[in-house]
């Protein structure tokens, strides 16, 4: 098959790359193991940042979130209401099909039910072996996940991962209606992670996420989280998946002919575990680097990815370390400083970067420390004046 690029995986990253390549006139073939629409384990909470990428997904939105409840075990919850959307709820089977359909409409070729087994570099290109034949092309984009065949063929899968579990609750008496338009994020109940409640059109997405090396049994954490929130669950469908933590220095190009996007490149928010925005944007960046041409496509792609994500993901990792190591302390700090909640919400919707948020919080802490120092100095000065006055009274007496 005469193609310029093979894309392994038709999820958001692969679909975005295929769309961008086809739009640029590049012959692209997507190998997707499933037959769409397919079930996909995911909370389905999209950041408004996705809109900044030019992706119109309004037809598959099932709820618009304008209220967020932040909670922690033993703490009074904090409710934040916004006048603009904080998030959009979608079902991945509908959202992913929308993206891939648009790539096909643009001219990308998609082979469904085709599982990539392994890949290797050959003279002048890459050879991709699947359960439906072997394909060759000058370039390969790996969008088949953190544990997919592309990563396994060219790089050892990362051991730094989080585990997530999503339980779709059906028939929860009154619970679904109560959560329309709002989400809950609960820090502290899962080691180095959190629990969530997200509404969709006809059920609730509830789940937990935690660092693999810190959690023992996710189902136990999920049950305790739901019990603490008082969520009834008559029936549920449970699914789990791994989420890779990004490296301090991003390396999404694993050879001169193989580019990774999305989870395969570990492009995931280390605080929230959100990866759809990063998958779509990295797919578009991969398409840009390839369409620009030149002999050093991989180097160009790697630099574009670092420029786009590295500083912010480092900031997210620093904030995640602070929150996950001391969730109660972090939660109380958020409650004491309403401006911090506003700033944190701005980060989640993309109006403020993690790096800018950390700088803002650092200035706030320094200002608070300075004001405390000034107050303490004034108290000491007042004490000295009062002591002098008392001493003077005694002398005069």
Protein fold of 5-312: FAD/NAD(P)-binding domain (3.50.50)
Confidence label for 388 from pLDDT (cuts 50, 70 and 90): very low
Question: How far is 176 from 169, CA to CA, in rounded Å?
Answer: 9
Q: What is the pLDDT confidence band of residue 393, given thresholds at 50, 70 and 90? A: very low
Has residue 382 got a pLDDT over 80?
Answer: no
pLDDT band at 391 (very low <50, low <70, confident <90, very high): very low
Cα–Cα distances in Å, from 108 out to 206, 250, 379? 35, 28, 72
Domain boundaries, the chain: 5-312, 360-397
CA contacts within 13 A on the Cβ side of 369: 6
Provide the CA 379 distance to its chain's centre, in angstroms. 47
Most confident of the following: 21-30, 208-217, 236-245: 21-30
Q: Report the 3 state secondary structure along 360-382.
A: HHHHHHHHHHHHHHHHHHHHHHH
Flag the least confident range among 69-78, 125-134, 245-254.
69-78
In the chain, the largest separation of any two C-alpha atoms, in whole Å, equals 108
Instruction: Quote the pTM value.
Output: 0.89
pLDDT tens digits along 328-381: 888 888 888 778 888 988 998 989 999 899 888 887 664 444 344 334 444 444
Q: Is the dihedral of CA 162, 163, 165, 166 positive or negative?
A: positive
Distance CA 4, CA 32 (A): 17
- Is the CB of residue 265 less than 8 Å from the CB of residue 308? no
CA distance 340 to 91: 31
Average pLDDT along the chain: 87
Predicted local confidence at residue 5, as pLDDT: 98
Q: What is the pLDDT of residue 234?
A: 64
């Amino acid at each position: 098959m005469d193609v310029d690029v093979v894309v392994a995986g038709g999820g958001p990253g692969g679909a975005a790359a295929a769309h961008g390549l086809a739009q640029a006139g590049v012959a692209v073939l997507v190998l997707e193991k499933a037959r769409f629409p397919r079930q996909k384990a995911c909370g389905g909470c999209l950041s408004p940042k996705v809109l900044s990428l030019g992706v119109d997904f309004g037809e598959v939105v099932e709820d618009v979130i304008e209220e967020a409840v932040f909670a922690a075990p033993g703490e009074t919850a904090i409710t934040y209401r916004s006048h603009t959307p904080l998030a959009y709820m979608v079902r991945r089977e509908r959202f992913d099909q929308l993206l891939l359909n648009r790539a096909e409409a643009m001219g990308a070729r998609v082979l469904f039910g085709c599982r990539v087994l392994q890949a290797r570099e050959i003279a002048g290109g890459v050879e991709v072996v699947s359960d439906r034949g072997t394909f060759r092309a000058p370039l390969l984009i790996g969008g088949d996940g953190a544990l997919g065949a592309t990563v396994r063929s060219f790089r050892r899968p990362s051991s730094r991962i989080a585990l997530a579990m999503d339980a779709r609750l059906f028939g929860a008496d009154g619970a679904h209606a109560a959560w329309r338009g709002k989400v809950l994020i609960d820090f502290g109940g899962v080691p180095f992670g959190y629990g969530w409640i997200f509404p969709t059109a006809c059920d609730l997405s509830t789940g937990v996420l935690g660092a693999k090396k810190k959690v023992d049994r996710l189902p136990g954490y999920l049950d305790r989280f739901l019990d603490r929130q008082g969520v009834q669950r008559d029936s549920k469908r449970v699914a789990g998946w791994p989420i890779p933590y990004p490296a301090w220095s991003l390396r999404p190009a694993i050879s001169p002919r193989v580019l990774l996007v999305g989870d395969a490149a570990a492009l995931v928010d280390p605080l929230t575990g959100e990866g759809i925005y990063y998958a779509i944007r990295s797919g578009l960046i991969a398409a840009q680097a390839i369409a620009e041409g030149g002999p050093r496509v991989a180097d160009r792609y790697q630099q574009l990815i670092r420029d786009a994500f590295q500083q912010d993901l480092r900031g997210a990792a620093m904030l995640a370390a602070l929150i996950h190591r001391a969730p109660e302390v972090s939660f109380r700090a958020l409650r004491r400083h309403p401006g911090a909640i506003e700033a944190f919400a701005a980060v989640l919707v993309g109006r403020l970067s993690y790096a800018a948020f950390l700088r803002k919080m650092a200035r706030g802490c320094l200002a608070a420390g300075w004001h405390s120092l000034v107050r303490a100095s004034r108290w000491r000065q007042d004490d000295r004046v009062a002591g002098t006055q008392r001493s003077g009274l005694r002398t005069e007496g």
